[in-house]
Structures are given as C-alpha cells and as structure tokens.
Amino acid sequence: MQKGYLLLSDGSLYEGKVFGNDSICCGELVFNTSMTGYPEILTDPSYNGQIVLMTYPLIGNYGVDEEWNESCGINATALVVKKLYEGPLPEGKMSLESFLKKHNRCGITDIDTRALTLHIRRCGSQNAVIYPEGKEEEAKALLSTFPSITERDLIDGVSVKKVTENPSLGEGFIEAPKNPKYNIALADFGVKRSIIENFYRRNASITLLPPDFKSFDVLDKSYDMLFLSNGPGDPALLQNVVAEVKKCIGKIPVCGICLGHQLITWALGGKTVKMTYGHHGGNHPVKDLDTGKTFVTSQNHGFMSDMSTLPESVHLWFINANDNTVEGLYDAYKQVRSVQFHPEAAPGPQDATWIFDKFLEEVE
C-alpha cells in the first residue's frame, strides 16, 4: 500500500495508506457506527455517492462473501478505516481489499477515525477526496468543483430501468413465492435485496417500477400496495415522484422505508431537511409512541422529516430516542405508513422486522 491522503472540503487533511483502486475518489463523507456488516454497508445503494467512515477500529477480519451483498456491487464511493485487516480469512472468503479492487473502489487505512468522526460531528458531513501521494493538485481541483449531495442525482445508477417482475435476488436469498397472497408495486430508488426478501417471506410478489413511474402504472393494475424503497440523495430533488405518489395516496395503501418515508412526507404536504451528520449505523434506539416500547434499529440517512410541516391528520409513529427526530409516521384514514429506519437491517439488529407485517396490515 502506498501513502495517501483524505482531504475534506473545509481543508482538514488526514494521512494514511490507500488500498483497493488507487485512483482519486470524491464524495460526501459520513461515519457509520456499526461494528460489523461492512459488505452489506458497501453494497447498500443508499450509500451511492458517499465515502463511508467506519468508527469501529478493525475492519475486514472476516472477509467478504458475495452472498452478503445488498446489490450487484459496491455502491459506496470509498471506505475509510482505522486499521485494514490483512490476515488469514475463513475458507472461501475474499479479502476486503480484493473486494474493493474487484469493484473498482478505493479505500484508505491508518486514519485517526476517532478524531475524524468527532470532526464530522462538530462540523457536519461534507465532501472529501481520497488520493495517493503525488496527486494533490488533481485532488484539490476535483474537490473544489464537486457538487454537494443536495445537487446530485444519485438514483439513476442504482435503480431498474424497466418494470421487473419478481426479481431473482441471487445466492443466499430466498426466491419469490409461487402462490402469493399479496401483489406489491415497489418503486425502486435503490432497493436493498433484503427488503424484497422480507416481502417474499411474507408471501408477497414484487413488481419493481423504475423511479420515473406514473400513478397510472400503479392504479390501473391490480396491486395491493405501492411501496417506496430506500435510496440515495436528497428527496427534495424528486418532486416529479412526489406528484405521482400524491395521486396514489387515498386510492391504494402507500408505504415506504428511508427515502421512501421522506417522499411520503413530501406527498402528505410536509418537507424534509438535511441533518448535520445524519444517522448511519446499527445501534440507533427508536421509541414506538403507540406502545411506549423502545428497540434498536439499523439506519442510513442524511435527511429527515420536519413534523411541524405535516398536517394534523398525520400521526407521529416513532421518534429517535437519542435526538427525538422523526422515525416513522402514518395516516390511518389514507392508509399511509412509513419508517425512516431500516427494519430489514442487513446489517444490524432485526428488532424491527415486524414492521413489514404492519405494512401488509394496511392491505388487510
């Protein structure tokens, strides 16, 4: 590995060693507090356009298996770690560095991730660039002109281009049910395989719709629900989608996760705002305001719903127990229900998988 650097848009500079692809990588830098699950994190389409900093110090010690992937390849722009594991691995597992090389992604190790995480918490998520020694001028030029996350269309590269019936998820995942009880139209903005699998497990068939779907694509068919998936980027840029979702609300149950939850917020008349550093990790406590119970969730988002902008008919379902931000909402009359966190986990605790049953109760 050769010497490399991580440069933030505010001028902060960190020295380390680059691994994987040794090209210049630029994106929004965010930190993830998960202790494990780096293959699922890297392949989560919601990380498209972002550099992921892992707060846990040793990463890569159990290798990578393609069966753990949440999509066809790595979506995160790059990976930042304190210590890259380079020792022996379980039989049949690929090293993390080989995994990044295979998918043409770069990483940097030997970074003081504790200091960097505290810096992001103080100053907020921001663009950063990783580059090998000798590429400083090119890296600075790229960083100076690189658009912010609120200016980028990040969905195009991670979503389907045409209607797809019951997609095969590959090895390690179950297949679509042969005699489904439910028929769900799933608007794909970068859906994780585990979300589809959770619907398959509940005897639901899935039809993936491209992100530019129209309301008649849903309402003119015999679907039981419109589901809006997770995905990368700023929901405020997707007002064309919001307009189509509005036309569906009240005519068919509408549910969503993460970006889907944020789009539902807009469709119900609310707005979203960018968070200082977001929620990324598998240890976020969420309180159910209907039952008073608190459970631990997996999260990955940099935007949140502004409850004060929503109409009174919308019920606040969940809040984050750390900072009281909105984690879920529903409108019982309109049959709308959504969550900001990831009930499918992958990685993370599976405390919230029952949310999929709540979604399907809207159909019942």
pLDDT digit string, tens, across residues 136-172: 999 999 999 999 999 999 999 999 999 999 999 998 9
- Which of 42, 5, 241 shows the shortest CA–CA distance to 137? 5
The class of domain 164-363 in CATH terms is alpha beta
pLDDT tops 90 at residue 272: yes
- Which of 248, 240, 245, 249 shows the shortest CA–CA distance to 334? 249
DSSP per-residue letters across 89-121: --TTPBPHHHHHHHTT-EEEES--HHHHHHHHH
Alpha helices in the chain (DSSP H): 38-42, 96-102, 113-123, 136-145, 193-201, 215-219, 239-248, 259-267, 355-363
| Residue-level pLDDT at 364 | 87
Query: Per-domain residue ranges for the chain?
Result: 2-146, 164-363
What confidence tens digit (pLDDT) does each residue in 171-187 have?
A: 899 999 999 999 999 99
| Residue-level pLDDT at 55 | 98
* Residues annotated as catalytic (active site), given as ranges: 258, 342, 344
| Residue-level pLDDT at 261 | 98
293 and 287 in contact (C-beta within 8 Å)? yes
Does the domain at 2-146 match CATH 2.40.160.20? Answer given as no
pLDDT tops 90 at residue 195: yes
pLDDT tops 90 at residue 127: yes
| Residue-level pLDDT at 208 | 98
Query: How many whole angstroms separate alpha carbon 116 and alpha carbon 204?
Result: 43
- % of the chain beyond a pLDDT of 70: 100
Query: How many whole angstroms separate alpha carbon 89 and alpha carbon 309?
Result: 51
- Which of 47, 14, 294 shows the shortest CA–CA distance to 131? 14
**Angle at 122 (CA atoms; ends 140, 3), nearest 5 degrees:** 40
Mean pLDDT of 254-281: 98
Cis check for the bond before 347: say yes or no (omega within 30 of 0).
yes
Cα Rg for the chain, rounded, in angstroms?
20
DSSP per-residue letters across 38-49: HHHHHT-GGGBT
pTM to 2 decimal places: 0.97
Query: How many whole angstroms separate alpha carbon 130 and alpha carbon 1?
Result: 14
- Which of 154, 195, 187 shows the shortest CA–CA distance to 346? 195
What confidence tens digit (pLDDT) does each residue in 22-36 have?
A: 899 999 999 999 999
| Residue-level pLDDT at 42 | 98
Strands (E), the chain: 2-8, 13-20, 25-32, 50-54, 58-59, 78-80, 83-84, 106-109, 126-132, 164-165, 182-187, 204-209, 225-228, 254-257, 271-288, 294-306, 315-320, 326-331, 336-339
What confidence tens digit (pLDDT) does each residue in 32-80 have?
A: 999 999 999 999 999 999 999 999 999 999 999 999 999 999 999 999 9
Mean pLDDT of the chain: 97
Helix, coil or strand: residue 253 = coil
Mean pLDDT of 184-209: 98
| Residue-level pLDDT at 202 | 98
Query: How many whole angstroms separate alpha carbon 22 and alpha carbon 18?
Result: 6
| Residue-level pLDDT at 194 | 98
- Write the CA distances from 107 to 126, 186, 304, integer angstroms: 17, 33, 28
| Residue-level pLDDT at 189 | 98
232 and 154 in contact (C-beta within 8 Å)? yes
